[in-house]
Chain A
Amino acid sequence: MATAEPLVLGIESSCDETGVGLVRGTELLTNTVSSSMDEHVRFGGVIPEIASRAHLEAFVPTLQAALDDAGVTLDEIDAIAVTSGPGLAGALMVGVAAAKALAVATGKPLYAINHLVAHVSVGLLDDNDELPSNLGALLVSGGHTEILSVPDITGDVRLLGATIDDAAGEAYDKVARLLGLGYPGGPAIDKAAQDGDPNAFRFPRGLTAGKYMGSAEKPGSHRYDMSFSGLKTAVARVVETYEASGQPVPVADVAASFQESVVDVISRKTVLACTENSIDTLLMGGGVAANSRLRALVTERCNARGIEVIVPSLSLCTDNGAMVAALGARLAAEGRAATGIVFTADPGLPVSTVSMGAA
């Protein structure tokens, strides 16, 4: 069913956003999102059971709102796409069950697709019919920190590097709590850091030692990988030291120095991964892509090496259904086989699986 401009409905429920998007070819018709973020604030992080309950209540109203907003009916849709992983198991299950029911009810083909690759497919929207060749992607959010190489978005996506423990956004949340800055931590720390000295404290840069890096010819065990758990502990030690001595914690300086460590490591590793893998265009995605310092330093360091950086609008960086629809539309346009209704959500779906095969 290779149609030049298929109309695809995308469903996203891998974390705390219930997203339904509609895309025709590369044209974005609607990007409707219902977030349960407010319900997680008092816990200082996403609680999977609360997110899953919210998905159940939000799904049909979000679907209705998306169809109304785009002015299309279910009959007109050519295909349905749903995030089948990676993500929170209970949360994914709600979107997957809903998508299957929708596929049975409408008789439309269903694509079970990879959440991370969907983030990259945002680059296809707004009439960008082709992605740049030699494309890479940097995804940074509360659940992910990954550097990808994207030779072919529907057929060949490779993981170059990733965090081996906490996601960067998760580290922001935890440090924001330590500093009493509230949730979500990304914007809170970004704001507090504006008035601070990023060199006030020299926090560790995880996995940047020679034994982990190696060389381009003989890469170490974690050349493009990142780690933020040690950094989080280092911040806690500093805060405790101030408290124990009865002095006020220099919140702005700690926030700025913490942020500088995160951003320094991510941007250095990203530039290294790009230059050593012939990547000359980098697409940023994930909620932390909105962070002003991360954007600035990644752009500065990439541009210095001749790498162009694309940062989509925030509503397309955070989790949403439009990105799922965009990838689904590309798969359908290329005539790739749909997944069908017999598959299982996979919380650990590897990035090399762009869309799941039919059972």
Chain B
Amino acid sequence: MLSLDSSSIASAALTRNGEVLAEFATQDTRSHAEALAPAVYNLLGQADVEPSQLKAILVGTGPGPFTGLRAGLVSGRTFGFAWNLPVYGLCSLDALAHRAAQGTTERTEFLVATDARRKELYWGRYEVHEDGHGRFAVSVDGPQVTAPEGLPKLPVYGSGAGLYADQLPQTVADSTDWQPTAADLSRAAWALQERGTGLSTDTSPLYLRESDAKVPVQRKKALR
């Protein structure tokens, strides 16, 4: 499976049953359109994988800053079209939640948060479950976008926690540089698949905000 996520940094991964064969991630959050296609080209070469061996495309559907998010989604959909592969979508915060769940205990509830800019956070609330396959995170609320004060009083994982540590009740120190990555996204997807849950083919972006444009009000008539 080829996975892409551009909700924060831009990343790509080739995986088999949740096991990462090769991965790529940018350092910054502003170079998605530039970075993704060359990254996929290089990953296929590195892992010595032919496009004909791919079975599916997975894209992180956000939430994330719009322009970058769209670059990943249109890339994923186009790869799916050109290679005639199914394209699945998964909330990008699930990638962070899956990573966080590995270091916690069952029934723990926690939040993951990423930068939504404009002094707000994208966040989701998850609960840890455990079974014969190991630990996994189940979404119980979100994704949402609010100011940091609006988050429930639970430990917060992810880069969003690092940005507003002073305004959040509990941040998990080791996680404050975590971003959603394609590798974690594909692990989260595999956690669903190995438990018999099919992936969604809905790749609609989770914008969570409308465009800022306002319908112009009727122009005031000049008065006599």
Contacts and interface: CB of A to CB of B under 8 A. Distances in A.
Interface of A: 42-44, 47, 49-50, 52-53, 55-56, 59-60, 63-64, 74, 89-90, 93-94, 96-98, 100-106, 177-178, 239-241, 243-246, 341-345
Nearest to A93: B33
Given A100-B33, A100-B36, A93 B81 contact: no
A344 B32 CA distance: 10
Given A56-B70, A93-B71, A104-B41, A43 B78 contact: no
Interface of A is mostly: helix
B213 A101 contact: no
B224 interface: yes
Interface string B15-43: 00000000000000000111011101100
Contacts of A342: 34, 38
Nearest to A343: B34
A341 B41 contact: yes
Interface stretch (B171-179, B192-200, B215-223): B215-223
Interface residues of B, number: 37
Nearest to A100: B37
Contacts of A105: 51, 78-79, 82-83
B139 interface: no
A42 B211 CA distance: 14
B37 A344 contact: no
B73 interface: yes
B105 interface: no
Q: Taking each of A63, A97, A240, A243, which has the highest tally of chain B beta carbons within 10 Å of its own beta carbon?
A: A97
B82 A106 contact: yes
A176 to B, nearest CB: 12
B37 A44 contact: no
A100 B215 contact: no
Contacts of B219: 177-178
